[in-house]
Amino acid sequence: MSKPVAIITGAASGIGLSLTRHLLSSGWRVAMADRNEEKGRALEKELGPDVMFMKVDVSKYDQQAALFQSAFEWGNGRLDFLAANAGIDDRQSLYEGVLNTLGPPPELNTDCIQVDMIAVLQGVWLLSHYARRNKVPGGKVVITCSGAGIYPMETNPQYTMAKHGLIGLARSAGPRFKEENVTINCILPGFVKTGLAPPEMIDRMPQEYVTPMSTVLRAYDMFLRSSKMTGQAVELSGDQLHFHSVPNYPDEISRWLHEDAKKLWSEVYAVGSAPKSS
């Protein structure tokens, strides 16, 4: 039987690179995607024939689409798993003022939203397409969210907004895609020492509050082993995995709207009859 095939975005560093090594040691083939071509090419050489690297900016749809097509062909018509992992922090502060203009300020840089949220949505869209083309239709997505997907991070409102959005995506689409043998789950790592973690923060914080990579890999293994779990958000804190459930409904109206009315919503939004863009 052929080896399972994964796409990992942001694979040239940190969590993505550790996951790449981990999956290779468990018998996977990995299509590594990263915008850092120098590191990616060196890793491709180092890691051997079960790896292919593609220079991809995931926020550009055509590049991400080409990645999926190439990985599917490289896997001989097989794609089992997407680790939607590439991420950056806020590239411009929402709080910085622009004083040297009487008119409106220039547009805020929202690269963080494009990379951390929109690109993940496009990744799920692409994975679902190739999952339908697998010999046995289906596939898995694990999204690298963050504690900022649940708790506000005042210094990084864009990062917080994007990561909150990812949980919404997994919780809404995860259960629905299960009908197609596709699962979508989120991991919410605490502070992990990677390229994204500011070195000043690593130096200043109590080391016992760092979450080890082994916890992150355990969470991936858990979701990869299960064909049942979907729409889950699991916080990784130290050596613990904490599942977060949706909040309790505050009253009967809210409960009805979000539970009993599900059937009505799906009739109104039946695929093919939903209002399309104007």
Instruction: Report the nearest approach of ligand NAD to the CB of residue 66 (Å).
Output: 13
Look up 151 and say whether it is catalytic: no
Tokens 């082993």 -> residue = 225
Instruction: Report the nearest approach of ligand NAD to the CB of residue 162 (Å).
Output: 9
What letter would DSSP give residue 276?
P
Strands of the sheet containing 29-34, edge to edge, are 51-55, 29-34, 5-9, 81-84, 139-144, 182-189, 233-237, 240-244
Compute CA 153 distance to the chain's CA centroid, rounded to the nearest angstrom: 18
Q: Which is nearer to ligand NAD, 115 or 161 (CB)?
A: 115
Look up 159 and say whether it is catalytic: yes
Contacts with 144 (C-beta within 8 Å, 6 or more apart), sequence order: 10, 15, 83, 84, 85, 87, 186, 187, 189
Q: Which is nearer to ligand NAD, 82 or 134 (CB)?
A: 82
Distance CA 126, CA 128 (A): 5
Q: Which is nearer to ligand NAD, 114 or 134 (CB)?
A: 114
Residue of 130, 140, 163, 220 marked catalytic: 163
Compute CA 131 distance to the chain's CA centroid, rounded to the nearest angstrom: 17
Residue of 159, 178, 193, 262 marked catalytic: 159
Instruction: Report the nearest approach of ligand NAD to the CB of residue 140 (Å).
Output: 17
- Which residues bind to ligand NAD, rule: CB under 6 A? 9-10, 12-16, 34-36, 56-59, 85-88, 115, 144, 146, 189, 191-192, 194-197
Instruction: Report the nearest approach of ligand NAD to the CB of residue 202 (Å).
Output: 9
Annotated active-site positions, please?
159, 163
